[in-house]
């Protein structure tokens, strides 16, 4: 019996050039993605979109899948027959998680946030959990934020899902409750310096380490 595993890949895009000024970088990108890349108004946005596409393209080809077969599914989420995937980016990094079942991933650079920001996005119990931490509160904020984001992406609902409808409970293991009912999903965390990464999936087996991929 084949073992299903959730894998996560990461690439650094610090040295990636702006595709608007270097259109040759788009020559191998599938057509629908080219439009999305160039629709971004800032160089950083175009680089992140290009980096995500290059990373995904490498992974799909490794799995003998054709990037041009990607279709836009429900709520604008890209999908391809034969593999579930999800993309995320933050500052200098892009990530992609893959599995055979629905999943979501999120990466966030740890940075300062406005005081009281957590009360806008987290449930009362989640805020109480965060308030246990003083020196480490910012790390815990982004830890929880990436978990919530990855869950919303796994469901395909994204930000259409009200943030107060589901919450994370930190016990002996991490549990997700939606409308008071325990969800059948699993969380894996990865860390690189100054960033938090979370992956949420219906699969329970995750790769131990995140895989570094060079885009060129």
Over range 81-106, report the average pLDDT: 97
Encode pLDDT of 103-122 as tens digits: 999 999 999 988 877 888 89
**What CA–CA distance (Å, rounded) separates 188 from 210?**
10
Encode pLDDT of 135-161 as tens digits: 899 999 999 999 999 999 999 888 888
Q: Which tokens hold the place of 70? A: 């990607």
Question: 3-state class of 56 per DSSP?
Answer: helix
Q: Which CATH architecture has domain 7-212?
A: Alpha-Beta Complex (3.90)
Q: What is the pTM of this model?
A: 0.93
Q: Which helix (H) or strand (E) holds 143?
A: helix 137-155
């Amino acid at each position: 019996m084949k073992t299903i595993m959730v894998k996560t890949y990461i690439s650094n895009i610090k040295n990636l050039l702006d595709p608007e000024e270097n259109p040759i970088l788009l020559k191998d990108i599938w057509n629908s993605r080219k439009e999305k890349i160039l629709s971004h108004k800032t160089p950083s946005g175009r680089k992140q979109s290009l980096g995500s596409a290059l990373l995904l393209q490498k992974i799909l080809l490794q799995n003998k899948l054709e990037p041009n077969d990607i279709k836009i599914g429900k709520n604008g989420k890209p999908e391809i027959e034969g593999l579930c995937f999800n993309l995320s980016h933050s500052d200098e990094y892009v990530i992609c998680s893959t599995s055979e079942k629905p999943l979501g991933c999120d990466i966030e650079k740890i940075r300062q946030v406005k005081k009281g920001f957590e009360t806008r996005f987290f449930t009362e119990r989640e805020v109480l959990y965060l308030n246990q931490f003083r020196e480490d509160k910012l790390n815990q904020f982004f830890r929880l934020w990436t978990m919530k984001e990855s869950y919303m992406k796994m469901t395909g609902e994204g930000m259409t899902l009200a943030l107060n409808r589901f919450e994370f409970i930190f016990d002996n293991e991490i549990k997700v409750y939606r409308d008071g009912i325990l969800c059948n999903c699993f969380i894996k965390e990865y860390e690189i310096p100054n960033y938090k990464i979370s992956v949420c999936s219906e699969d329970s087996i995750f790769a131990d380490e995140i895989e570094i991929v060079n885009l060129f």
